[in-house]
Structures are given as structure tokens and as C-alpha cells.
Chain A
Amino acid sequence: MARSPFGFPLQLSGCNSYQGADYRIAMSQDIQLDRVTMRFGDFVAVKDVSLTIHAGEFFSFLGPSGCGKTTILRMVSGFNEPSEGVIRIGGQDMAGIGPNKRPTALIFQNLALFPLMTVWENIAFGLEVRGVPKAKRRKRAEELLDLIALSGAAEKRVSELSGGQRQRVAIARALAVEPKVMLLDEPLSALDLKLRQHMRAELRAIQRRTGVTFIYITHDQGEALTMSDRVAVMSQGVIQQISKSAEIYNDPATPFVATFVGENNVFRGQVKAVDGDWATIETGHGQLRGRNRNGVKVGETALLFARPERLNLVNGDAGAEMNRLDLTLGHVDFEGSFANLFLRSGDSQAGEQAGRGVIMQMSNDGGLPRLVPGEKLPVGFAAEDAVILADGPLAAH
């Protein structure tokens, strides 16, 4: 069994809520948002969102700040009532049910641990207000402290704990009330980078072990992609795409997703031809071909996206399925395990059409050629590595 530096077991033995009898019970605890809209005055924070989060799932909302993801969290937990639409947990309409009556537990961005209570009192607070006798509360708190590898800290004050320890106490406090749904509002944002990566693994492990549905809010794509079963990408109150992590990256549904998640090259142009699942657009780099994901039509303006790591240097003639660009090397950023090549087109106009240059990523696998800025480089990428989407807003970088 692998252990984290904090002594917390990361791999858990044979305990999976997707199996066995628990599954049906868990099934009934799906969270459903049905045409939910939230307005604050004239401002629409969340616009007509419909989705279902399955019981036992690790589900993330990913988006830049102000995209409405925190509002969704606050509506699910009951601190805000939606202006329109229905939120159901386990099929039950949550309208009019206060946050203290919902089967949800929220991990606040600032954790909101009670500073005047000891660690164990914090963890047992939810039980205390439910009238659980003190001895029983204490026992449960000790169990949870074991779970988060903080056994000795029961009588400590919150102010004596480190950031990571506070994090884990907040999780234990939420788990103590045995919620059906855990809501986490960027809980790792206050930690430093290394600790954050460890906590990702711990959170994922706790979720697997407990089988509780996790709804996770973050603006950090790394967190969302590594931990989640599914990710919903949001922008300006609208859900852009709900998919598994790999699909979000490999098969973005909107220009926003394509540019918000990971690095991407963008080529704008007119659709020249459509054949089946494929399309060809006319750009400043000539005709480029890619997958026609959402069914653009001939004559429309469209965007073609190709990931930097899918670009290759081509020698001589490329295959028929290969898109080909003749570019000039601007400069190279050597990052260690890989290098980023910043390229511009020969006539310098084509790249500016989409507002960005072209980035190509080459892995440092021993085959990195010697490159000189100003050098002409023929670059190619396969049509199946490119996605063509109708023109739309890109993510701001």
C-alpha cells in the first residue's frame, strides 16, 4: 500500500461504491440541475444550466473566475436559491430547503474552520448539533482524525495547524456528517504547489474510499483533469462542455474549451468543403483539414485547432492526410523534457489572422534537431489531430 508523506493510505483495499448493493442506494442520490438560471440584479451568473451528476462521481466545474461555478456550488448547497429552474438531489426538489437541511457538505475556499474550537470539536460540530452524545462524538472524531492521519491533534487549536493539516481537518469535518454530496470550492488554492499535488491524490483517495459524490470547483485545469471522472467547463454562466478529462482535452466542443484547457494553435478560415466527419477550411496557411466535430457548413467561418504536441516537422512530401504549413522559427523555449518552438508564417500575415503565432512542442527524446531562429521549417499535423469548430469566443490568456 502506497503512503503519502503524511502517512495517509493512497490506495485503498477493495472498497468501491460502484460495486455491490451500495450502488442502487447511491444511484438514487444523483444531483440534477434542471434549466437552472441565477441572476443577481441584471447580471446573469448562471444561464440555463441542465446537467446530472451521478452518485459516487468525482465531478468538477472548471472555468475562469466569475464564470458562475461558485454560484452553482452555492445553489446546490442551499445558500442561494436559483432564480429559475429546479435542483434535485436524489430526485427531491431542493427549493425552500435550507443549507442545514440538505445532504450536502461544503468545503469552503478559506476552509472556514471554527477558530475558537479545538480540532476535534471542529470535526464533531455537525454531530454536536444533531444531538449526538459527547463520548460518541469524540470517538467518531478520533476515527476521522485517524483517517486523515492527524491522530495526535484532537486537542490542538486550529491556529496551531499547518495549511495542509487544516485542509484535512476541513475534509474530516465535512465527512463527519456523512453527506451524500461533498462540495469543494477551490480548497487547494491556498496551498503551495507541492502540497497541492499531494492533496490532489489524497482527495481522490478519500473520494474513492467513501464513495461520496464530490463536486469540485476549480480554475486550475490540472486539478480538474487529474482528479475528476467528468469535468464541466464553464464560461460566462454557460456550460461549454461536459466530458471525461481526456475528451475535454482531445475533443473540445467549443472554441472556448479548446483554448481554455491546455495550449492550442488556432487557424481561422472559411469552410471550403465538408465530407462526412471531415471538413476543409481555407486559411492564410492554405487549406487545412480536420475533424468536423459539430457539423460546420460550407461557407461558414470556422476555427481549426491543433495541439502543439501534435505538430511535427515534416521531411519532404507529407502524406495526403497531412496538413502542411511552411513556417519560420521565431525562438525556442527549452523546458527540459520538451521544447516549445514559436513559429511564424513566412508572409507573417497568416499567423496574425487568428491573433496568435503557431507553437509546436517537441519532446526531448534525443531527437531534438539543432534549430536556428530564422530557419524555415515545414510543419505538419494529421487531419485527425485537428478539430474544426464554428467561430466563437476564445478563452482569454
Chain B
Amino acid sequence: MHRRSGSEILLNIYLWVFLFYLFLPLIVMGAATFNSSRFPTVTPWLGTTLKWFGELAADDRMWDGLISSLGVGIAVVVISVPVGLGAALLLTGLKGKSRTFVYGVMVSPLLTPGVIIGISTLVFWDRLGVGPGLHLATLGQCSFIIAYVMLMVLARLQRFDATLEEAGLDLGASHAQVFRRVLLPYLKPSLIAAAVLAFFQSFENYNTTLFTRGLDTTLTVYIASKVRTGLTPAVNALALILISITILGAIGYEILRRREQARDLAAKRRAAETERRETQLA
């Protein structure tokens, strides 16, 4: 155990202050859900209540927004995962300057402000006679979410051992069989992660949706409009639910990750054990 230096202690304090800064607003927002004050706040505390959950549940526009968000989110996942996969695979086949160029174009939507993606999508499809709405919000979101998917798949693809594909072909598999039985199972974790990320990105997207939604409303747009007009702690109730889902998701992810890690470690240990016994025999 090494002695902690003064600067390390300071850095630690700073870190906890930072975490406090990150979480306090969320805690305040969540706590305000249970205050019976009509305006969401924790001061003054006018009595503890659960009525805002009821009000939230009774709000049809919230349900409409939720259904829209789920629909758009699913559509975005369905489009962006296969396309992002295709784009990542394409990049593996390019080299040198052409790869740099295509890569640059593919990641450019990530370096473009969301409002501009929304605006460009709106004007382009309007010219083609396609009016705004959830479908356009889906297309607008896809244009940059595909880039996220592409990057995630590419990251895993770069660690892929291409001789596995050759081994598959050599054993008589067709290209499609190799893809389905060898490459796709290998990419599965990244595809699942990308699908989750794509859904979340879509679900909470505001900037792009704002310009492409037309008269439709997603949950995020609904929250924003509620905050500006007609704010009640029902919004806090919704926030609290979304935060809880996020925290549960993070915990679940961590548990899965640790289990996976433990399993890999155990396999390695067993292999090393066998190895040792064999060398002794030999």
C-alpha cells in the first residue's frame, strides 16, 4: 500500500465534488416528483405525494409521444444496424486514400450539428415531395446513427481474425454460410450494443427531430414542450422513470460484463491447467 500524496487526496475530493455536481440536479429533479407543489420544486416542500405519477399516466399526449418514440426508435434500429454493418464491412475492403475519404464522409454526420442534419433532411425530402413527420425524423436520425453503428461494428471488426473466414471457405462453406456462421456470431455483441445505442440515441434525440417531425410529437419533444408550457411535476415523474430505467440498464450491463469476464478467465485457467499437465507428461 503506497502512501497517498496530498495532490492525490485533492484530486479525490475534486472527483467526488464532480460526481456530486453530476448527480445532485438529477436527484433534485427526481425528488420534486414527490412534492405536491404544482410547480416542480423541492423548496418549499408542500407535502409528499404520488399523484403526479397518476397525472402522467392520464396524459394522452405523453402516451402518444411515447408510442411515437418507440416506433421511431425501432425503425431507426431496423434501418441503421444492417446499413451500419454493411458500411463497416465495406470499409474493411478499402485501403489507403480511398478508405480515408470514404471513412471521412461516413463519420461526417457525427461532426455535424443535429439541427443541420434535421434541416438538410427536411429541405431535401420536401423537394422530393415527402413532407415532414415521424418517417422523416426516422430518416434524419438514421443519417448519423448509422455512423455510430458503423464505428462500433468497425471497432470489433478490426480485431477479427480474417483467417477464420478463410478457414470457413476452405471447409467448403459458401460466402453466405461463412458470413452467417462465422462473421455474424463474432460481430453479434457489437451489433447488439449498436442496436441498444441506436435506440437510445433515437429515443432521446431532440435537435434533428425538432426540424423533421412536422406535427408529430415524440416523447422528447413532448417533454420539451411541457417544460416550456404547462409544466407540472408530472414531467418529473416521467424523468424519474427514465432515469431509473437508465440506471437499471447500466447495472444490468455491468453484471453481464462481469459474468462474461469471469467466464473467459475460467476458460483460460482450464486451458493453462491442461497445458501444464501435458508438458509434464511429454
B181 with A112: CB separation less than 8 A: no
Q: Once the chains are docked, how many angstroms separate the CA of A174 from the CA of B275?
A: 23
**CB-defined interface of A215-238 with B at 8 Å, one 1/0 digit per residue?**
000000000000000000000000
Binds A, one of B20-28, B60-68, B231-239, B265-273: B265-273
A129 with B172: CB separation less than 8 A: yes
- Chain B residue at minimum C-beta to C-beta distance from A106: B170
**CB-defined interface of A113-129 with B at 8 Å, one 1/0 digit per residue?**
11110000000011011
Q: List A52-102 residues whose CB lies under 8 Å from chain B.
A: 77-79, 98-101
Q: Across the interface, which residues of B come within 8 angstroms of A105, CB to CB? A: 170-171
Q: List A153-194 residues whose CB lies under 8 Å from chain B.
A: 157, 159-165, 173-174, 176-177, 192, 194
Q: Once the chains are docked, how many angstroms separate the CA of A78 from the CA of B172?
A: 11
Q: List B254-279 residues whose CB lies under 8 Å from chain A.
A: 264, 267-268, 270-272, 274-275, 278-279
Q: Once the chains are docked, how many angstroms separate the CA of A239 from the CA of B198?
A: 56
- Verify if A342 is at the interface (C-beta below 8 Å from B): no
Known: A108-B166, A110-B163, A161-B274. A194 touches B172 (CB 8 A): no
Smallest Cβ distance from B189 to chain A, in angstroms?
10
B163 with A112: CB separation less than 8 A: yes
Q: Once the chains are docked, how many angstroms separate the CA of A96 from the CA of B121?
A: 46
Identify B267's interface contact among A6, A160, A192, CB under 8 A.
A160
A104 with B170: CB separation less than 8 A: yes
- Verify if A5 is at the interface (C-beta below 8 Å from B): yes
Smallest Cβ distance from A27 to chain B, in angstroms?
24
B166 with A79: CB separation less than 8 A: yes
Q: Indicate the size class of the contact surface on chain A.
A: 35 or more
Q: Across the interface, which residues of A come within 8 angstroms of B181, CB to CB? A: 114, 125, 128-129
- Verify if A198 is at the interface (C-beta below 8 Å from B): yes
Interface of B is mostly: helix
Q: Once the chains are docked, how many angstroms separate the CA of A101 from the CA of B169?
A: 9
Q: Across the interface, which residues of A come within 8 angstroms of B274, CB to CB? A: 160-162, 165
Q: Indicate the size class of the contact surface on chain B.
A: 20 to 34
Identify A5's interface contact among B171, B186, B267, B281, CB under 8 A.
B281
B173 with A129: CB separation less than 8 A: yes
B168 with A125: CB separation less than 8 A: yes
Q: Across the interface, which residues of B come within 8 angstroms of A174, CB to CB? A: 171
Q: Once the chains are docked, how many angstroms separate the CA of A112 from the CA of B169?
A: 12
B166 with A99: CB separation less than 8 A: yes
Interface centre among B186, B267, B271, B281 (most CB of A within 10 A): B271
B164 with A112: CB separation less than 8 A: yes
A160 with B270: CB separation less than 8 A: yes
- Verify if B174 is at the interface (C-beta below 8 Å from A): yes
- Verify if B167 is at the interface (C-beta below 8 Å from A): yes
- Which A residues fall within an 8 A CB radius of B? 5-6, 77-79, 98-101, 104-106, 108, 110, 112-116, 125-126, 128-130, 157, 159-165, 173-174, 176-177, 192, 194-195, 198
Closest 7 CB pairs of A and B: A126-B171, A112-B167, A129-B173, A162-B274, A162-B275, A159-B267, A112-B163
